[in-house]
Amino acid sequence: MLRLALLSLLVVGSGAFVTTPALSAVRTQRATALNLIMTEEEISAILSKANGCVESECAVSDVDDLIAELRDQQKVLSARLENIMNAVAHLQAANAAGDKRKTDDVRSIVKDMLRVFTTGLAGRAASRLQGRATSIASRTYSSTRPANDRIVIAVGGNALQRRGERLTIENMLKAAADMAPTIASLAREHELVLTHGNGPQVGELALERSAASFDVLGAESMGQIGYVLAQALSSAGCPTAPVICQVVVDMQHEAFRDPTKFVGPIYGAKEATALSQSFGWIMKPDGEYFRRVVPSPPPVEILQVEAIRTLLEKCPSVLPIACGGGGVPVSRVPSNPRTLVGVEAVIDKDRCGAKLANELDADGLIILTDGGGIWQNYGKPDAREMKLASPEYLLGTKAGKAFPGSMGPKIQAAIDFVQNSTKDDAWAAIGDLRDASKIFGNEEGTLIKKFSHSNGVVWRERKKVATGIGGPKLSSDQHKSG
């Protein structure tokens, strides 16, 4: 710290960091390396307290004041050093884009970097949920996360397996690379935790190693997917920390009596019968095909939640990847609660994401799908999508039955998060992965939160131009209440 103070003092005294004519458009403040090292005022405050101690009795209170000043400055310096690290990361990414490198983009980053470093105009997004554009400076270089902006994002395992493609690491890496820029961009604006599904991946592992315990296969798939996501996000300039989480479940839950969670690839009727006879798997229809099902109990306790909280608080530039696939299901031994045993089940990743969001006191939960938000009469000519819905309205529709398939658990997870949150303005959103950035402004997808409306729902009204697997493809952006 003293070395930094002396260095800053020398910088101020020698007139370093004076701008060149090429940078004259950027106003400096008395040649001080603002947002890089220390300002004259900060140096003076520390030296004043230090001199006061040296020239007086150096009482306990004097030293305490000096320590407090140094600690405050340590926090400021850490933030400024992180600004430099972020600038390096994003300049490297923009400069090494190969054929896609755009000089204007690089120049824009450099200009905004100069504004942050020499004038302190870092800025902040005017509104995180209104979908307004933000400056590159606030999006890229702010090391202090916006207040009240902690969000858990749940991505389905199918996001890493394109329809019609084989489930291979190469294809997963390609899919992750397509998704990474969107997630990385959001991570620069918000304090994120990323969770993901693992249905296709863990099912494939089970097919390859039928004798392996399902909890172990789940842990393997989490490591596999965590690695793939970390690779892709790192290339997009977003550092990550994958965390394999153990999640306690209740062995007496009804889910163990009636397995419903689909895992693995789809099969024809004959192949499904053969697999059931060979491995004892329970197979159920999923549309025109069959898939394996396993118990899917709700999460009771996430054992690594404090580690994730520490990552968020101590490493704000790092994106935790946690509770993948709903976490590794474990149960406590009744005679010795500290002893854990693995459970052959799959915890629904959206329900686990909701619990994680509640335990982290998050402000929002986003569940990304490959089919948009919540639709009434999904896939039919008269289908319509909800823009906004209250938990009470969705509960009144008996979400799990009114919205069959995989959407029911997602809706229930959104309801759970909003209702169990300690924050009155907590919100959840369900929408298409491709529209992730627009979901924040409620331009796409469905927003679930507490609000006063006679019907508890606001519908999107758009002109239908086609129908397809995700319901009608729509145009226009008009909405109505109903």
Backbone angles phi, psi at 338, to 5 degrees: -80, -15
Catalytic annotation, residues: 157-158, 261, 349, 410
CB 89 within 8 A of CB 8: no
Alpha-carbon span 152 to 147, nearest angstrom: 15
> Which amino acid, residue 15?
G
Alpha-carbon span 446 to 450, nearest angstrom: 13
